[in-house]
Copies of this chain bind each other. A is one copy, B any other.
Amino acid sequence: MKKLSFASDYMEGAHPAILQRLIETNMEKTEGYGTDEFSESARNKIRAACGASQADVYFLAGGTQTNAVIIDALLRTYQGVIAAKSGHINVHEAGAIEFGGHKILELEHNNGRISASNIERYIRGYWQDENHEHMVMPGMVYISQPTEYGTLYSLKELKEISRVCRENHIPLYLDGARLAYALACPENDVELKDLAALCDVFYIGGTKCGALYGEAVVIPEHGFVPHMLTIIKQHGALLAKGRIAGIQFDVLFSDGFYEKIGQTAIETADMIRRSLMEKGYQFAFHTPSNQIFVILDKDRAAVLSERIAMGFWENIDDLHAVFRIATSWATEKEDVRRLIDCL
């Protein structure tokens, strides 16, 4: 029997509706670099979904690239970015932010989340330090939704972070690599319109949410980042056939599709969570989204790994470790049942 895969949410190709649209449009000739009508249509649908009719929208290829481009665009050379110690930019981007010359100013986190009060304390601490001119100036805040731990910021938390950023005149940037899975969570209360109202820049993930590749950067205030196309080009992030990303996001933002595409992932994750609880498994921490962090006896995990691909997260002690089970838009209920049977 074929091995089950719950290793991550980018294991398949694209949602069939996306492939279908690529086929339909394939031989049409369009301009390059995102100036085509498909990309413009996608931009308009994203603007509408975000309630940000003047927003600048750009399509990039992947998450690390997007983070590097945005952070470099928002910071002056002598500024750093405040982020959770656990932030993707701080751990799993191979130094892409430092490659652009910027320090990541780490904050302690609560299962991936940082708090408005800690951000505020850091910024104040910087400016009150008599040696602050010898230190890296905090120039923006980076958060992710869902976080790298699969947790969510509540609307209240996000509003507080946004307020601190605005009071201190530094932009707030939100990494939405898995945003569709946040939007599909019953306990989520942060909508796209909230992101547009509270963030200065955010990106809507495509790669992990049904696209072949692609992330949509949204800058609610038109012109907030001047010369963005040149910045994207300089980072090697401007795709000649920009339409391919445009077409994909045009599909994802037709008829509220993006807000629904994560539902299967959440439903199947909930099935797995319930089953794990019933069977007496412990979780490393609670997550409402498509990632589950379960504690397994290592011997048991070794046996399971022959039948199920999961992600190793971290060791707890000599006998136990945390493993990540991830669902996606493409997860099939039959596979979930087989997974539950194995556990």
Residues on A facing B (Cβ under 8 Å): 5, 7-8, 10-14, 16, 19, 22-23, 25-32, 61-69, 72, 76-78, 80, 91-96, 98-104, 106, 130-131, 133-137, 207-208, 212-213, 227, 229-231, 233-241, 243-244, 312, 330
Contacts and interface: CB of A to CB of B under 8 A. Distances in A.
Contacts of A12: 26-29
A322 B102 CA distance: 30
Given A14-B26, A22-B13, A93 B134 contact: yes
A207 B244 CA distance: 11
A65 B131 CA distance: 18
Contact of A92 (B101, B106, B134): B134
Given A63-B240, A241-B213, A94 B208 contact: no
A130 B7 CA distance: 13
Given A12-B27, A240-B62, A233 B93 contact: yes
A236 B27 CA distance: 30
Contact of A234 (B11, B96, B243): B96
Interface of A is mostly: loop
A213 B13 contact: no
A236 B78 CA distance: 12
A332 B334 CA distance: 47
B234 A236 contact: no
Contacts of A207: 239-241
Nearest to A30: B11
Given A22-B19, A23-B19, A98-B98, A13 B241 contact: yes
B93 A77 contact: no
Nearest to A76: B227
Contact of A244 (B69, B106, B213): B213
B78 A94 contact: yes
A230 B80 CA distance: 12
A227 B11 CA distance: 24
A98 B94 contact: no
A256 to B, nearest CB: 23
